[in-house]
Structure 1
Amino acid sequence: MPAATAPAVDLVLHGGQLVDGTGAPARNADIAVKDGRVVAVEPGLRAEAGRRIDTTAMTVVPGFIDPHSHSDWSILGNRDAESTIRQGVTTEVVGNCGVTYGPVGTSDVDATRNALRAYGFLGEVTWRSFAELLDVVHRDDGGTAQNLAWFVGHTALRNAAEVRGTGADAVGITRMVRHLEEAMDAGAIGMSSGLEYGSGRDATTEELTSVAAVLARYDGIYASHIRNRDAHLLDAVDEFLTIARHNGLRAQLSHLNVRHDTGAPPDAWHAAVGRLIAEREAGMDVLADMTPYPHGIGLATGLLPGWLLADGPATAAQLLADAEIRTQLRGDCDRYWRFVHKGQWDRVVLATSPATPELEGLPFTRIAELRGQDCWDAFFDVLHAAGTDMPAVQLMGRLFTAEHVAEAIAHPLFCLGVDGFTSRTDGPLAARTRHPLFFTGHTHYIAHHVLQARNLTLEEAVRKMTSKVAERFALRGRGRVEVGACADLAVLDLETLAAQDTFAFTGSYATGVPHVVVNGQLVVHNGQHLGTRAGQYLPRR
């Protein structure tokens, strides 16, 4: 009996319209996939296929690529990328804002383990270098559902090099450079910095310029959560551009937005955008990214002054027990989310708090009411209870106006990201992500900004979520639906998305994206996660 003939292709999506990621108008087309690649894009395909999926009345797009993700924090506790893959996100650029959990210094192992437990990882921190972390994520234990491209965090480099305070000497810089070189040799796409919190806030411009010089040898990208996004926004933008310009680097300004009612000069955001445009015209490869909601996550320690944190979180927690210290802090905490100094604590929710999980998801006004305190003392008590885990305490804030968000999203300078991390509806992650940002942040761009508010056309939104990001980070073969491209695909039900209120937190996974394909393999089918882990590590090329 003759052997069965293999089908001509592995998968055909037929009957739908295609928005291919280039910005071109939607058109009718079927898509054929074989061996992880798109092999045909044309209407009326009749190829014999191992699987055919009817996408009639639906829209096929390239898998979304998040240019600014923190899913490296949660990936070890959520390898199936439940909340993001179900939104059609097939690739995430992680390691942003200076905070990565590799490299890890010997003295930071316990703190790293405790921080990762808050994200559902119950294993041990067996790695020390950035390359070893990549091995654990991508090769040791079952892979990932989505593709990941990685920055290495400057704060992690600093901590691993045992650099403390503002006095990074030649020895400390040499150590940071060595760790950065190791990360770049392992395929990191560049270095990110976070200059409003953690050890990164102590770094001088000179230190950052010296360390970032390594990137020029690798054609790496410098990405930065800049030092200020309120009264001194333009100074912070200038510092970012100085570091990139001095080293001739490609540069990404993370979430370039201005927090509402925090003292930013009138029209500061437009002036900042203008400076980036001027640099682009002068030849610098620089872009920015934006988030979908007026809300955003932040680190609680970002509100604390440097003098309190100088000797580490354990000492800071002890100091917070002193009433006189607290009195001084009420004035010295006027940084980062400055609106709290105007009494606007109703804008702040406690998102992640390993020591007081019973308070997670509550605004500080409610926490203070429950504890019979004012909001400052409630805040200080949460941090005091955290002790050495203080860096893991996260906030969710109502940071921006809806008008500001809409304008930035529509601006041609900006890629569209979420600035969150992949979550689940069960376990520790569920308790710490009670906001639509984590479950519908990506589909919110389509449901709200395209179909409801009409801030963007569908074609332009898809481009800014796919090919624009792929080109920005040199993710070759991604971001477009065309012959030869990697078969990362999402199928959108626009009718379902148009009817959604993606501002509401439902506690469930996104709907409206019934099928998701990663590297040619079906991961989500009819709205159900199949458990497929087809994601790849995307090293710098």
Structure 2
Amino acid sequence: MSLDIVVAGGTVVDGTGAGPYRADIGISGDRVVAVRPGLAVPAGLVIDATGLVVTPGLIDPHSHSDWSVLGNRDAQSTIRQGVTTEIVGNCGVTYAPVTDATAPAARAALAAFGHDGEADWRSFGELVDRVHREGGGTAQNLAWFVGHTALREAAGASGPDVTGEQLRTMRRLLADALDSGALGMSTGLEYGAGRESRTAELSDLAAVLAGRGGMYASHVRNRDAGLAAAIEEFFRVARPHGLAAQLSHLNVRHNTGAPPDGWQRAVERLQAERDAGLDVLADMTPYPDGIGLAAGLLPGWLLADGAAAAAQRLGDPGVRRRVRADSDRYWRFVHRGEWDRVLLATSPATPEWEGLSFPEIARRRGRDEWDCFLDVLEAAGPDLPAVQLVGRLFTEEHVAEAVAHPLFCLGVDGFSSRTDGPLAARTRHPLFFSGHTHYLAHHVLQRGTLGLAEAVHKMTAMVADHFGIDGRGRLTAGAWADVAVLDTATLARQETFRLPDGYAAGVPYVIVNGALVVDRGEHRGVRAGRFLPRST
């Protein structure tokens, strides 16, 4: 027998949660064929992993790399961290399905993430084809949700009341996406069209999911004073249909009015529902910081006639005064004046301010933070929905508590970036370049929030099993050959709270579907990733 690749002499952490052991990994084609010590078999390539840790390729349970993949097919910032699969299409925001009316907004939003072409697809399946079967493929595997916000907008629905015809269109578009391989439907209920939807609408669409074995993932309606009601709504949608479900980034933002035991009560409910037989988990982000949509702070009355009209109305000082007074939602600490917690991340109309905090923008412009924020949105015009923020959202203690909880997968809630082009300017935060290795460097090796085997399990097999991604997440004979080789000594020395100089270090080798993509820390330009439909 001859093998294509042998990863020899490493310490294996196999994704199951079991402790580390010494073994060689034998790969033939796109499969792992042997995991055992002393694998003395000829191979086309032998990777010396002596002193290194070998794990399954990491799987991000909550990614937005569908936003950036058309401008970053090589997944530069994430593949170099050992991430071989990303669950995308989260928080209700996907750029399919689209219509002739909504495609221009999709094109403008994607341009901010480096896509220089048209949004000339219409269905979810056509977008998947564009990403995976046309244009050169991807470096990483992607498994996709379809976004509820996209379904709503493609159906022409706005406001809380939808017509029978609009609901039928949403059902049809959702069924089409599921038939094209979508994992299920995601919702984003704190902003945009999702914020306007009623529970009955979500439940109706959940019936379509149930009929086709689809999942339900939700950025719930509130994560502060109304967290309990938001969690109740989540289970009112998932429970009657017995849906496999994911509570996206179940966390509580600091100083936003949440009850002191709000998060604990939500987690107790999560545990109770799981004990009662519902296949439900949650995920957490690695940093106290996170991304958000600027439009989430805006009142519904301003957005009722669309983004372009909202931006135009912000030229009226009276409208601005009303918006300031009616902003106690989403990132509610902004309403309390804590602008020092907010950076401008993505702003197509004012890129010169990207990466700056709002106090710094205000200082440079001689205006207060609210006026600067509204200036950004007014300048954005129809691209207003593309404006993104990075906020200091959580305490370090809260992050650690969630990271260590047994029902939480470990996601990043970012997107794959790169050090050149439009994405470089719009991702000047370690979240995008070190989010995954931060779990390992900070939470495992430095702080000891959890052990290495447990962390790898939460980043591999736990995710694959829950999302129905067969044959991935474990290093075992017969599995797909997605492999990451970690240099834990390098990771232990890293300061992952700072933006790295270039790409993250500490993962010298990454294999995707049996192809070596990262070799001694360098991306080889190989795009071996695949579209991963849900296995039912």
Shorter-chain TM-score: what band?
over 0.9
Q: Does 1:527 find its partner at 2:511?
A: no
1:260 aligns to what?
254
* Contact 1:86-1:527 within 8 A present in 2 as well: yes
Residue 318 (structure 1) shift:
1.1
Q: Does 1:81 find its partner at 2:99?
A: no
Residue 369 (structure 1) shift:
1.1
Q: Does 1:132 find its partner at 2:103?
A: no
Q: Which aligned runs of 4 or more in structure 1 are off by greater than 4 angstroms?
A: none
CA distance in 1, matches of 2:179, 2:283: 26
Q: Does 1:198 find its partner at 2:192?
A: yes
Gaps spanning 5+ residues in structure 2: where?
A: none
Residue 508 (structure 1) shift:
1.2
Q: Does 1:493 find its partner at 2:480?
A: no
1:348 aligns to what?
342
* Contact 2:512-2:528 within 8 A present in 1 as well: yes
* Contact 1:105-1:162 within 8 A present in 2 as well: no
Which residue identity is paired with 2:200? Answer: E
1:3 aligns to what?
none
1:148 aligns to what?
142
CA distance in 2, matches of 1:69, 1:238: 24
SS at match of 1:390: helix
CA distance in 1, matches of 2:126, 2:335: 42
1:457 aligns to what?
451
Which residue identity is paired with 2:489? Answer: E
Residue 213 (structure 1) shift:
1.1
Q: 2:280 aligns with which of 286, 302, 308?
A: 286
Q: Does 1:508 find its partner at 2:502?
A: yes
* Contact 1:434-1:507 within 8 A present in 2 as well: no
Which residue identity is paired with 2:205? Answer: V
SS at match of 2:142: strand
Q: 2:52 aligns with which of 42, 58, 62?
A: 58
1:19 aligns to what?
13
Which residue identity is paired with 2:210? Answer: A
1:328 aligns to what?
322
1:36 aligns to what?
30
Residue 506 (structure 1) shift:
2.4
CA deviation string 1:160-180 (max 9, x = no partner): 111111111211110000000
Which residue identity is paired with 1:209? Answer: S
CA deviation string 1:430-467 (max 9, x = no partner): 00000000000000000000000000100000000000
Q: Does 1:184 find its partner at 2:178?
A: yes
CA deviation string 1:65-103 (max 9, x = no partner): 000000000000000000000000000000000000000
Relative distance call for 1:277 and 1:158 in structure 2 (3 A) is: same
* Contact 1:212-1:243 within 8 A present in 2 as well: yes
CA distance in 2, matches of 1:45, 1:297: 45
2:203 aligns to what?
209
Which residue identity is paired with 1:404? Answer: H
Q: Does 1:400 find its partner at 2:400?
A: no
| Paired residue total | 535
2:244 aligns to what?
250
Q: 1:273 aligns with which of 267, 276, 280?
A: 267
1:430 aligns to what?
424
Identity across matched positions, percent = 66
CA distance in 2, matches of 1:265, 1:522: 49
Residue 340 (structure 1) shift:
1.1
SS at match of 2:133: helix
Q: 1:536 aligns with which of 512, 517, 530?
A: 530
CA distance in 2, matches of 1:168, 1:266: 37
2:356 aligns to what?
362
SS at match of 2:287: coil
CA distance in 1, matches of 2:305, 2:501: 39
Q: 1:386 aligns with which of 380, 395, 398?
A: 380
* Contact 1:102-1:156 within 8 A present in 2 as well: yes
* Contact 2:434-2:500 within 8 A present in 1 as well: no
CA distance in 1, matches of 2:261, 2:247: 18
CA distance in 1, matches of 2:497, 2:145: 30
TM-score w.r.t. the length of structure 2 is 0.99
Residue 125 (structure 1) shift:
1.1
Residue 507 (structure 1) shift:
4.3
CA distance in 1, matches of 2:287, 2:96: 29
Q: Does 1:476 find its partner at 2:506?
A: no
Gaps spanning 5+ residues in structure 1: where?
A: 1-6
Return 237-246 or 255-264, whichever deviates more.
Answer: 237-246
SS at match of 1:182: helix
CA distance in 2, matches of 1:76, 1:206: 35
* 1:302-341 alignment runs, 5 A limit: 302-341=296-335
1:101 aligns to what?
95
Residue 298 (structure 1) shift:
0.2
* Contact 2:152-2:170 within 8 A present in 1 as well: yes
CA distance in 2, matches of 1:16, 1:349: 41
Residue 61 (structure 1) shift:
0.3
Q: Does 1:421 find its partner at 2:415?
A: yes
Aligned-pair RMSD on alpha carbons? 0.7
SS at match of 2:391: strand
2:218 aligns to what?
224
CA distance in 1, matches of 2:373, 2:521: 40
1:4 aligns to what?
none
SS at match of 1:459: helix
Which residue identity is paired with 1:428? Answer: P
SS at match of 2:265: helix
* Contact 1:425-1:507 within 8 A present in 2 as well: no
* Contact 2:96-2:123 within 8 A present in 1 as well: yes
Residue 246 (structure 1) shift:
2.2
CA distance in 1, matches of 2:292, 2:513: 33
